[in-house]
């Protein structure tokens, strides 16, 4: 079997925290989170913000935007898939996430 990378649409609620995704029509990479930490300095305490039920945080990997999305929103995730060398048909898709 050969292994290839495949991008599939998956509702955000079915993906784990720290999963790297892209929006449906984009290339910019984001990380899904259910909780974000805001770190203070000096006397300011660290605080956490938990996404409301039915939502997730979509955090830009370039250090930019933090968005709240409905967890039913389909996002693109890159996964590994096995193909038969002779005919290149997909035979098995593994949901082990890649950093791609």
Cβ pair 77, 84 in contact under 8 A: no
pLDDT in tens, 22-78: 998 888 999 999 999 888 777 777 889 999 999 999 999 998 799 999 999 999 998
Tokens of 48: 């956490």
Closest CA to 36 of 62, 12, 68, 13: 68
DSSP 51: P
Q: pTM (2 decimals)?
A: 0.76
- Name the more confident of 20 and 92: 20
């Amino acid at each position: 079997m050969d292994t290839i990378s495949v991008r599939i649409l998956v509702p955000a609620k079915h993906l784990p925290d720290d999963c790297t995704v892209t929006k449906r029509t984009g290339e910019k990479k984001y990380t899904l989170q259910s909780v974000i930490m805001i770190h203070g300095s000096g006397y300011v305490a660290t605080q956490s913000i938990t996404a409301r039920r039915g939502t997730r945080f979509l955090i830009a990997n370039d250090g930019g935007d933090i968005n709240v999305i409905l967890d039913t929103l389909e996002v693109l995730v890159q996964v590994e898939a096995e193909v038969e060398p002779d005919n290149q048909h997909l035979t098995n898709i593994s949901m082990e996430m890649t950093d791609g």
